[in-house]
């Protein structure tokens, strides 16, 4: 039996009839941009996250850029961001005119700490992007205590729960992605921004619609970045299922541990007080390439995601750290490997993965 790395279709199969009906309703209504489904989803998503406001945008990358712009970030400013993350976490910074400053992470949790942020702060630091990578939760309150706004990158953390609340309601403002493979995925691109600052929310709404509040007067150069009705209609059906899907992901991670996977590879370490809904279950091993090849021979998918950290990407050469190295990032990039996890992975599949890892490393 083959085991896929992730499965974004099985969980929604029982919902197909409901989803099809919702899509037909949108088509019949003929309103596809910023309609009633977007309004309703924004309210429902804000409630699920625990934030006062949610604003739908076109995708998770633009969500970060717009959030930074809403904070007033611009030319001459610096924004700190971990280098061990998806490229978009840093790619979203230069369009504001600001520059990315890369910080390190803890390779045990794949998350940056307040100390690691503090180590690269300068008088020009105007924001920090705290990435809740793989579904783990960054210490937002500790970072925000350094005196700069925190933009949470929640793209991989839908359904995760922290001791101080949910990702998306911990910092000044937060970005979310509804890319189809995410824990809460749409049927195409989509994103959102959450905040409990009403003025900030209004500024985001203005920026997402060409810098206009009334569709007549344009205050700033903004964006054409809006969540469409089709995606909102789908997301409204999926959102109530997210807690159960998140619980299944967390239980799968626990099952991996119960079966002794931690004796074979290094398991991801949840940050203090975090109950992650693991978007990816990423372990550490000395030769991930060889392990991945051997797992593939057993029909098990695995993948390395960020072998080349962001600060080493050609497009980021102008902003590489002066030291040239981020040791925690380098270790994580070298040793990590994502193993199968999903909202529907079975105990039998988990057992098969653990058995195959054991055989490969014996």
Give pLDDT tens digits for 160-184: 999 999 999 999 999 999 999 999 9
Whether 235 and 246 map to the same domain: the answer is: no
Domain span at 22: 10-240
Mean pLDDT to the nearest integer, 331-344: 98
Within 10 angstroms of residue 9's Cβ, the number of other Cβ atoms is: 12
- Domain end residue (candidates: 240, 261, 279): 240
The whole-number pLDDT of residue 362 equals 87
The whole-number pLDDT of residue 325 equals 79
Whether 167 and 259 map to the same domain: the answer is: no
Q: Is residue 3 part of a domain?
A: no
Whether 209 and 325 map to the same domain: the answer is: no
Within 10 angstroms of residue 318's Cβ, the number of other Cβ atoms is: 8
> How many domains would you assign to the chain?
2
The whole-number pLDDT of residue 201 equals 98
Residue 320: pLDDT band with limits 50, 70, 90: very high
- For residues 268 and 263, give the distance between their C-alpha atoms in angstroms, rounded to a whole number: 13
The CA-CA-CA angle for residues 151, 67, 86, to 5°, reads: 60
Closest C-alpha to 234, from 52, 47, 27, 63? 27
Closest C-alpha to 229, from 190, 183, 278? 190
Whether 163 and 21 map to the same domain: the answer is: yes
Whether 119 and 72 map to the same domain: the answer is: yes
261-302 pLDDT, tens digit per residue, is 999 999 999 999 999 999 999 999 999 999 999 999 999 999
Q: Is residue 1 part of a domain?
A: no
Whether 207 and 283 map to the same domain: the answer is: no
Whether 235 and 331 map to the same domain: the answer is: no
């Amino acid at each position: 039996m083959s085991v896929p790395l992730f499965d974004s279709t099985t969980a929604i199969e029982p919902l197909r009839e409901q989803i099809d009906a919702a899509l037909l309703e949108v088509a019949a209504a003929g309103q596809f941009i910023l309609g009633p489904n977007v309004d309703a989803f924004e309210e429902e998503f804000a409630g699920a996250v625990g934030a006062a406001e949610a604003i739908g945008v076109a995708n998770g990358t633009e969500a970060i850029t717009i959030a930074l712009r809403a904070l007033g970030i611009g030319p001459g400013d610096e924004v700190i961001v971990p280098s061990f993350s998806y490229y978009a976490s840093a790619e979203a910074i230069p369009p504001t005119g600001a520059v990315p400053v890369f910080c390190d992470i803890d390779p045990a949790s794949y998350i940056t700490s307040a100390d690691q942020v503090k180590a690269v702060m300068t008088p020009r630091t105007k924001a920090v992007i705290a990435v809740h990578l793989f579904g783990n939760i960054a210490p937002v309150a500790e970072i925000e205590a350094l005196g700069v706004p925190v933009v949470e990158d929640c793209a991989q953390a839908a359904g995760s729960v922290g001791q101080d609340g949910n990702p998306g309601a911990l910092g000044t403002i937060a970005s979310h992605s509804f890319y189809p493979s995410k824990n809460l995925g749409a049927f195409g691109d989509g994103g959102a921004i959450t905040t409990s600052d009403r003025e900030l929310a209004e500024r985001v709404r203005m920026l997402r619609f060409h810098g206009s509040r009334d569709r007549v007067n344009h205050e700033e150069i903004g964006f054409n970045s809006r969540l469409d009705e089709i995606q909102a209609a789908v997301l409204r059906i999926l959102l109530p299922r997210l807690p159960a899907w998140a619980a299944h992901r967390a239980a799968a991670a626990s099952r991996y541990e119960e079966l002794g996977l931690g004796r074979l590879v290094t398991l991801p370490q949840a940050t203090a007080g975090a109950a992650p809904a693991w978007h990816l279950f990423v372990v550490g091993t000395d030769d991930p390439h060889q392990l991945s090849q051997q797992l593939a021979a057993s029909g098990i998918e695995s993948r390395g995601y960020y072998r080349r950290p962001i600060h080493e990407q050609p497009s980021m050469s102008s902003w590489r750290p002066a030291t040239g190295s981020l040791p925690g990032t380098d270790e994580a990039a070298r040793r990590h490997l994502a193993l199968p996890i999903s909202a529907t992975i079975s105990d039998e599949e988990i057992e098969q993965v653990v058995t195959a890892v054991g055989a490969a490393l014996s």
